[in-house]
Chain A
């Protein structure tokens, strides 16, 4: 046996030995080797456990993620570079809300700051808006929005992006519209036209068409376009709402949109998505109560009330003035004219009070009264009394008053005045009768008129005559007045003696003294019938001075006496 022979034999034996020892395991080993060596079968094996393997590895550490990051990044980059559309379409429903939320938060912060600034401002507009907010119970910011944003969404179109065919349409009440399908087509055509004419990328397209106060807001989705026709000043939130509505429709009608071939069946239920876009805001938020009307009515009522009050007060004042003038003695209102200017025609007694004093100058000026008074004589008692006062000029101590048409005098008065008054009183206008019964004759002139005698004398010495002569005018005037008054007045001439001497002699002496004076007066023309002489002796003197006497006790003095028997006593009309 050569080594050369031995070698193959050994190999063969080893081979046999191996097959004897390993048997089946050898076959499966070969199958395993074949499967690992073949990429297809290896891929199949790995694929069957790949998710589980990945899950296990992810639980262990982040190695898998680290490896995948550059791969995913690279895939995304490549996808965007080659054809961004699928990625954009896939992310569209997610990106919009995410971006908006971020923007909304930023805006909310800004608005808050802005709101603060506005709240600090105190312009008239701000104050009136604040008042509105308080009145309507709205937040101030709401009121500001209401006042500044006024708009109405009149129509909403949902248009298939590729064909321009109308998928859905919604119109606000009382809005006159053109055929929406044709408008939809035309809108698409115009977007295409603008896009072609001005090189706008078709992904963005036209997002608003504005003409006067009409705006067509357009939001473009992957399959459909939402267009809102807005009259007025659309708020930015409307665009947001349109975007959201469009996204919702893309989600809810994804299949129908992707397979759209002109069949409208899949789009019958769009109204619920489109109708909320028909928003509107009016300029004048109506409050529950018509405050403005209340205010106007209130003001009107106040004006009417005030006018009526003024008119009523004026009328009352006018009536008062007339009444006061009528009540005033010596003034007679003949005519009170209120048709144009207030004018009074009347009569005025010269002794009446000034009418201006009666009613007050202020009332005359306020009411604008003019008047004209003609002079006349008033027979009213008050005026008659005033007139009598003026004409008769009564002395102090005497008062005159009217009692109806009777003028009554009372008090004390000199005889001469009484006589004169009796003569003049009937001529005072308004006086029918004059009564001076209440007047007593003023006897003061007699009080000092006395003639004194020496002791035992009863004749009129030259000195006593001279004394009597000086008294004579007083006595004459007194007696003549007494006679004139015919009240039964007499002049009593009283002779007196001093206490020495007997009562009888004193009585005699006093009588003769009185007689002597009476004779002298009669001799000087005084009517004897009105002179009565009597002596009283020393009785009064004795009573006055019990233990002494004076020279003045011997005298003759004068007193007024009333004779009850006088038939003329009483009224002396």
Chain B
């Protein structure tokens, strides 16, 4: 099927799809961060709880960074 007449770039569709999936990942990372913070308040394990919270923040930041990267290079 020829869809050239629509002047439509299939990779633009991929870009939108990838950005949507990464946005979903960011929401998931936010939930992970929030739950880690809640659990840190419930159980305090000296040192380690703080490390988990920092890892959750890094995960969130990586998600944001990837979203920006995808927005720029795709």
A joins B in a complex: no
Chain B residues near A (Cβ < 8 Å): none
